[in-house]
Structure 1
Amino acid sequence: MSDQIESLTHALLDAARKAGAEAADALAVSETALGIDMRGGALEQAERAESVELGLRVMVGPRQACVSASDTRPETLAEMAARAVAMAREAPEDPTVGLAGLDEVARDPDIAALELADPAPEPDPAALEEDARRAEAAAAAVRGVSQVDVASAGYERRRTHLAATNGFSGGYTRTRRSLSCVAISGTGTDMERDWNAESRTFQTDLPDAAEIGRIAGERTVARAGARRPKTGAYPVLYDERIAGSLIGHLLSAVNGTAIVRGASWARDLMGQAVLPAGLSLIEEPHRPRILGSRPFDAEGLPTSRRALVEDGLLAGWILDLGTARKLGLHSSANANRGLTAPPAPAAGNVTLTPGDKSRDALLAEMGTGLLVTSMIGSTINPTTGDYSRGASGFWVENGEIAYPVNECTVAGSLPEMLRRIVPANDARHHLSRRVPSLLVEGLTLAGE
């Protein structure tokens, strides 16, 4: 299959040249996916999907267009190319459109060192069903769980190949094994739910199914009897499960697309403080066995480790070729791309400098406040950084968890929040975003 999708990308490029394209790149994706859902001790759903999909981007002068298909016949490739070229000729001009130079693209990357694909055979559906069944049973066995909403097990194997008329050609295979469980406590209007989920590149790295289910059940039971917290200004501790969302807002603010449009509160902050002194945010695209790792980006540029924030100061934007050219800069090799649209910048693996204290130690320091374990909805002004999100979690008094809370809103100024975060030391190292629990002082809570 690897040779097949590589051949398809080159066939697409040949068709694009014949149709009149001056430059082009082609993306081919071959995917196998299995999924099992269990509910009430019975198999609810079993799915298997296999597909080969193609994406073609063509350039005619300063214009470009994208088309996609799931039909690999030669006549379809020719039709794709003809339509793409016709569309490109009618597209608006963009002087920043264009491929990377041949001297810029990745050459002989060490893909094997990244361990992106598990060499083990595809799991048997019966093995996935057994994992989901064990997770469901473990959650149901937790005292106080009234039902298990669903337990799911899945497997994906995805082969991607990118080729372009500038001479670049490269691809790799990625695998993903996942298991999740959602449990419910109480009945009627007193119902509460929580979940647990894990995914790994290698099957052998996935935690035990029963452990995943047990944690889902215990989290759910801990939420029983939740009520609204007090209204006022209090410290908020973002649990490690959702702390990455705060850093995600920062990544959105330094994304080249937002900077080019002038629609970011961070647009004038290069070289200025966006995090507390001593904290850095490092992009690490070459971490082995991590879902966000990759040897090159969606424009064929080699990826490398770099600082987005260094010692609290903003050090770099997240750029692809297009946004870099608009800003008069060089791409940071952050191009991401689907089959139906041109590349756009997106961050991969990032690591925030950890603190030296545990989450419990930060709870003790905060005294009275809110521990957030779940967030609902989002009202964030990307230009000003005004922040308001629905939240649930646990009220903390005298440094200890007092009772579960829900139906509250956490509000503040995102730039100010980020400049005063205090990280714990509990980041999970298998995640693409390694972000520990984060304590933020002085946020506004709207509760009862």
Structure 2
Amino acid sequence: MLEPIDSTSLLSRASELVDLARKAGATAADAVVVRSKSRSVSVRLGKVEGVDSSESDDFSLRVFVGARVASVSANPGFDLRVLAERAVAMAKASPEDPFACLADSGDLSRDHPDLGLFDATDVSSQQLTDAALEAESAALAVGGVTNSGGAGASASMGGLVLVTSHGFSGSYMATRFGRGVSVIAGEGTGMERDHESDSRLHYVDLDAAVEIGRKAGERAVRRLNPRKADTGTGLTVIYDPRVARGLVSHIASAINGAAIARKTSFLKDRMGQQILRKGLTISDDPLVYKGSSSRPFDGEGVQGQRLLMVEDGVLNHWFLATSAARELGLKTNGRGARGGNTVSPTSTNLALEPGDVSPEDMIASIKDGFYLTELIGHGADLVTGEYSRGASGFWIENGALTYPVSEVTIASNMKDMFLNMTPASDIDRKFGTASPTVLIENMTIAGR
């Protein structure tokens, strides 16, 4: 059985570091240890290409001297006193930041719930190898698959230790297991590639390696002999859940408090207004049991609660950490994430809530449209909302998927897209960002 890493010594070390920073002249401080331990295997065409293993504890100390702030990082074995004194000296020489601070003590988490984030299953390198080989073999067995792009499997655990100068002390650990494969179908200039993967907090919840391989192979074969679609406007596009999750991520980025404070979001002036079609809801919940992005407290020690970021199409909340919240004259909602020495707002378990129509009925309702399975490029401008992406998928004729389509571009403005979205009923909540199949009306397609 895999044992959780004992965080007692790390909590003690982080607490001592904070105390030394205060003694060196800091008015406030917090110390973070990011723990990680991982093992992975990669294979291709039946042979092991790599076995990797790593383990680390990365310390970060953030100190405040009045409105001045500085951060330093170090590996285990550093001199605590030297690091604390160096951080304080750096802060004293830094420009003032009127918004940088620790979370208010009244916002700190007092009760850290068990969210089922840790799985004690110890997966050996041989088990990872067997799973990767099994997935690749199943994919190569699909008729029409001609080559492998490789398969892999991994097991990891990681977590956060946080201590602050105003009384917070906490830690949590989470595990993650994954497996996936990429394969090629066809020959010569007619080759097509696709993939399938799965990632879960608990090993027993992983999709079977054979099933992952079969799906990857079938997807690659379905893409053979694609055509270009005709250029047109006012067309209906259906986003497969794999790409619809990206749409939800765009919404999350556009309502991120840091982007709002910088005025770099096309939704910056839309709080309290309708941004999605009436009836649509986007939820965010950091406390989902066994949720992919769950956490008992955020990177500042604040416990977030489930929020309806968008309700009945109306924007209710920004994602907020303390610094962004202060800049906007608001309070944090526990969405701060540590990234190196910084704290930035992020989503947690984010979901576009499903509708009532099955994806099959949604497709059947369309006489002429595009079923989208892959997007290429980064043509989503979060400042203006302009959206233009390379795309591939399948053409819909008379309510059925027909021939594969590639080398086309879809375009619109995200303001209009969000108001013309209709979600289907098929959401899979295993993803940190979850979405059902999504239909969007009035898109432009550039093809032949």
Give the AA of the match of 1:294.
Answer: R
Partners of 2:160 and 2:14 in 1: CA distance: 10
Q: 2:84 aligns with which of 81, 101, 105?
A: 81
**Is residue 2:65 matched to residue 1:60?**
yes
**Paired residues for 1:341-420 under 5 Å:** 341-420=341-420
Partner of 1:441: 441
What secondary structure sits across from 2:173 in the alignment?
strand
What secondary structure sits across from 1:54 in the alignment?
strand
Partners of 1:440 and 1:291 in 2: CA distance: 27
Q: 1:43 aligns with which of 36, 39, 48?
A: 48
Partners of 1:396 and 1:80 in 2: CA distance: 62
**Is residue 2:39 matched to residue 1:34?**
yes
Partner of 2:120: 119
The answer as to whether partners of 2:158 and 2:174 remain within 8 angstroms in 1 is: yes
Displacement of 1:349 in angstroms is: 0.8
Partner of 1:98: 101
Deviations 1:216-264 (A, max 9, x none): 0000000111232211121110101110111111111111111111111
The answer as to whether partners of 1:100 and 1:166 remain within 8 angstroms in 2 is: no
Partners of 1:178 and 1:406 in 2: CA distance: 29
Structure 2, unmatched stretches of 5+, are 1-5
What secondary structure sits across from 2:193 in the alignment?
strand
Deviations 1:373-426 (A, max 9, x none): 111112222222111111111111112111111111110010110011011111
Instruction: Give the stretch that moved more between structures: 19-28 or 79-88.
Output: 79-88
Give the AA of the match of 2:92.
Answer: R
The answer as to whether partners of 1:425 and 1:437 remain within 8 angstroms in 2 is: yes
Partners of 2:48 and 2:327 in 1: CA distance: 53
The answer as to whether partners of 1:5 and 1:30 remain within 8 angstroms in 2 is: no
Partners of 1:162 and 1:188 in 2: CA distance: 54
Give the AA of the match of 1:105.
Answer: L
Displacement of 1:341 in angstroms is: 2.6
Give the AA of the match of 1:84.
Answer: A
Give the AA of the match of 2:35.
Answer: S
Partners of 2:15 and 2:236 in 1: CA distance: 56
The 1:400/1:168 distance shift into structure 2, 3 A limit, reads: same
Partners of 1:69 and 1:187 in 2: CA distance: 51
Partner of 1:334: 335
TM-score w.r.t. structure 2 length?
Answer: 0.96
Deviations 1:184-241 (A, max 9, x none): 0123321110000101110011111110111000000001112322111211101011
Give the AA of the match of 2:12.
Answer: S
**CA-based RMSD:** 1.2
Partner of 2:432: 432
Partners of 1:12 and 1:186 in 2: CA distance: 59
Deviations 1:348-379 (A, max 9, x none): 11222211112121111222111111111122
Partners of 2:81 and 2:232 in 1: CA distance: 64
What secondary structure sits across from 1:45 in the alignment?
strand
**Paired residues for 1:163-242 under 5 Å:** 163-233=163-233, 234-242=235-243
**Is residue 2:317 matched to residue 1:316?**
yes
Displacement of 1:53 in angstroms is: 1.0
Partners of 1:407 and 1:4 in 2: CA distance: 55
TM-score w.r.t. structure 1 length?
Answer: 0.96
Partner of 1:109: 112
What secondary structure sits across from 1:337 in the alignment?
strand
Displacement of 1:4 in angstroms is: 2.5
Partner of 2:3: none
Partners of 2:314 and 2:145 in 1: CA distance: 46
Partner of 1:423: 423
Partners of 1:295 and 1:319 in 2: CA distance: 16
What secondary structure sits across from 1:107 in the alignment?
coil
Partners of 1:153 and 1:59 in 2: CA distance: 42
The answer as to whether partners of 1:336 and 1:346 remain within 8 angstroms in 2 is: yes
Deviations 1:301-334 (A, max 9, x none): 1110111001110011111111111111111111
Displacement of 1:7 in angstroms is: 2.1
Partners of 1:14 and 1:287 in 2: CA distance: 34
What secondary structure sits across from 1:214 in the alignment?
helix
Give the AA of the match of 1:328.
Answer: G
Q: 1:7 aligns with which of 4, 12, 15?
A: 12
The answer as to whether partners of 2:248 and 2:351 remain within 8 angstroms in 1 is: no
What secondary structure sits across from 1:241 in the alignment?
helix
Partners of 1:226 and 1:85 in 2: CA distance: 61
Partners of 1:324 and 1:59 in 2: CA distance: 18
Displacement of 1:277 in angstroms is: 1.0
Partner of 1:130: 130
Matched positions, count: 442
Deviations 1:61-101 (A, max 9, x none): 1111111122x2252x3332233222212222111121123
Partners of 2:70 and 2:36 in 1: CA distance: 25
Partners of 1:206 and 1:337 in 2: CA distance: 28
Partners of 2:183 and 2:310 in 1: CA distance: 38
Give the AA of the match of 2:297.
Answer: F
Deviations 1:247-303 (A, max 9, x none): 111111111111111111111111111111111111111111112111111111111
Deviations 1:128-177 (A, max 9, x none): 10000100100000000001111100011113211110110111010000
What secondary structure sits across from 1:410 in the alignment?
strand
